Amino acid sequence: MKVLHPGQTPQTLLQLRPLAGSIQRIGVRSESNTSVRHSGRTRELPSPPGIQMNLTVEVTRISPEGEIHYRFVLEQMDLLVKAGTPQKDAEALRAELAPLPGLRGEGRVSPHGRSNHFHAALPPDLAPHLQEPLQRLLQTLGGMGTFLPSSPVGLGARWEHQTPTPPSTTTVELKRLEKQEVGLKLELYSPPSSTEPRTQSRGEGGCVMSLDRLWPLQYELSVETHAQVQSQDDGPPRRLETTTHLRMRMREQSFTSPLLRPSAYLR
């Protein structure tokens, strides 16, 4: 994490400080659409249904160094079916998702929100074509707290986080700081890849965090990915350009403090 500008004074060290035993219930929506351009024409491809899911996340323990251990349960998952989708197709997709509710996982994050460990084993009987996108979505959720710098910052501060695989840079700006709540603006950039298909991504979004929570109160991200691929049909080789828009939104639905309940919900 590199601080580009420390922001105004006063400056504060932003750290996650949830209590062991605290529980968040989280709702997540993810949708996408893709278009193809070739020979000067753009054509929209049939959009896959979006996904809506509800998770319960419990902080299980805080290490002496402040590392946060947590576990989660995927309680519910459904499709966001677009108008005009044949009912039998929607029912078939829902049947493929049926093994997912009850999925459990665990993770660890640093006090600054960086993911040190995340694991969720998808059911072995899940349809093969769903394995990769769902694993990617879960990994995105597991790394969603990677936002906070390790040095004090004030309003207007800007910092960036880089990941090597795939190469990408997330730039963050501190837009609001009120007691426990932190408002962030996010910009994401992935440079053109050097291998086929050649892809490049840009995204923007926002996040509202409460420092006594593990996951954000609100999170929105919109990413546009351009890819250049070579057509596989008969005839001379042609370069096709595809553009995929991905939109993800997350909301905290409820929060339970360990001070208000006798025992944890998750077993």
Question: CB burial class (10 A; 0-12, 13-18, 19+) of residue 168?
Answer: middle
> Considering the entire predicted model, what is its pTM?
0.84
Q: Are 50 and 30 in contact (CB under 8 A)?
A: yes
- Work out the number of other CB atoms within 10 angstroms of the CB of residue 44: 10
d(C-alpha 266, C-alpha 237), whole Å = 55
The whole-number pLDDT of residue 130 equals 78
User: If pLDDT is split at 50, 70 and 90, which confidence band does 265 have?
Assistant: very low
Mean pLDDT estimate for the chain: 87
Parallel/antiparallel/unpaired status of strands 168-178 and 181-190 = antiparallel
| 25 located within any domain | yes
The whole-number pLDDT of residue 58 equals 96
CATH number at residue 244: 2.30.230
pLDDT (mean) for 91-95: 86
The whole-number pLDDT of residue 146 equals 66
| 39 located within any domain | yes
Is 189's pLDDT higher than 80? yes
d(C-alpha 108, C-alpha 123), whole Å = 22
Alpha helices for the chain (secondary structure H): 87-97, 128-142
- Which pair of tokens denotes residue 34? 């893709």
Alpha helices for 100-178 (secondary structure H): 128-142
| 37 located within any domain | yes
The whole-number pLDDT of residue 233 equals 61
| 99 located within any domain | yes
User: If pLDDT is split at 50, 70 and 90, which confidence band does 163 have?
Assistant: confident
| 265 located within any domain | no
| 267 located within any domain | no
| 141 located within any domain | yes
Question: CB burial class (10 A; 0-12, 13-18, 19+) of residue 103?
Answer: buried
Q: What range defines the domain where residue 234 resides?
A: 2-260
| 266 located within any domain | no
Q: Domains in the chain: how many in total?
A: 1
User: If pLDDT is split at 50, 70 and 90, which confidence band does 213 have?
Assistant: very high
The whole-number pLDDT of residue 237 equals 63
